[in-house]
Amino acid sequence: MYKQLVRFMMLVSLGCLLYAGTATAVDFEANTPAVTRLKQNMRQRHGQLVPFYDSGAVGLTRDGLIVLRDANAVPLSGRQSVNSLVAAENQDRNALYREIALANNHPEWEGNIRSTFAQRWIASARSGWWYQQENGSWQRK
């Protein structure tokens, strides 16, 4: 009887945990007009950023943004436009995290969404691109 009760309790607990896990799962693919617009914008910009990822001029930061990490890899006349590209991309990325959190009806999830995206960006980065490790140092993939 005691064992059955314990087993029942464990099943209930497991069920609650599973439910809680399901209930709090973030829908990263939330598809609101804002998310669609931002993704479209970022997709269009990505082609312009790739050469700078390849050269190591631009790297992926641990907080889900990008940064001009080695301006010396860009000709002087191009550094200003890379700056603008980086600023525009970061503006969109910040908006994307905020919009996905809003689409999930949990604005307070923005931080977690950002962290998850940071890992996703790094995981999907091409070989040779630079990313920031947890301790802040830069690593070439």
76-103 helix and 110-123 helix, angle to the nearest 10 degrees = 130
Question: Smallest gap, in angstroms, from Cβ of residue 141 to another protein?
Answer: 21
Q: How far is the CB of 104 from another protein (least distance, A)?
A: 11
Q: Which residues pair with 139 in a beta bridge?
A: 131
Nearer to another protein, 16 or 57 (CB): 57
Residue appearing with tokens 């997709």: 43
Tell me the closest approach of the beta carbon of residue 68 to another protein, in angstroms: 8
Task: Give contact residues for another protein (rule: CB under 8 A).
Answer: 31-34, 36-38, 41, 68, 70-74, 76-77, 79-80, 83-84, 87-88, 91-92, 95, 99, 103
> What are 129's two structure tokens?
């691109």
In contact, 32 and 51? CB cutoff 8 Å: no
